[in-house]
Amino acid sequence: MPKPKSPATGSERVLRPGFQERVFDVVRQIPEGKVASYGQIATLLGYPGVARHVGNALAACGNSELPVPWHRVVNARGGISTRGAEQRQLLESEGVVFTPSGLVDLSQHRWQHALRD
């Protein structure tokens, strides 16, 4: 039979369907005043390296029926999304502190899901 071209053969690093839901699930667990990074969530789900997809999934959080606190997800440097205008305000209203350079102070607000470094 013809050789399968699917990248899943050999090494299955393909995102399973339902990935987006899982992302929402985790994000909903972030408490007020805390933030997590895209990469942190990807790793938590078992897919290190797919931070982009976390962001991509979050971009569609409007499709979710349950509310998703998307503003509590920031990039690895504590920077907020390209649509950060609203995001910053939401975070500050939860007591999140920003550094003078406009980044979330991760040393103070990083959510650790009961884990540690």
Binding site for DNA (CB under 7 A): 5, 7, 13-15, 37-40, 49-56, 58-59, 61, 70-71, 73, 75-77, 81-83, 87
Nearer to DNA by C-beta: 33 or 39?
Answer: 39
Nearer to DNA by C-beta: 17 or 114?
Answer: 17
Shortest Cβ 21–DNA spacing (Å) = 11
Residues 55-68 as b/e (b if ≥16 CB within 10 A, e otherwise) read bebbeebeebeeeb
Q: Tell which phi-psi region holds residue 100, choosing left (phi > 0), alpha (psi between -120 and 50) or beta.
A: alpha
Shortest Cβ 114–DNA spacing (Å) = 20
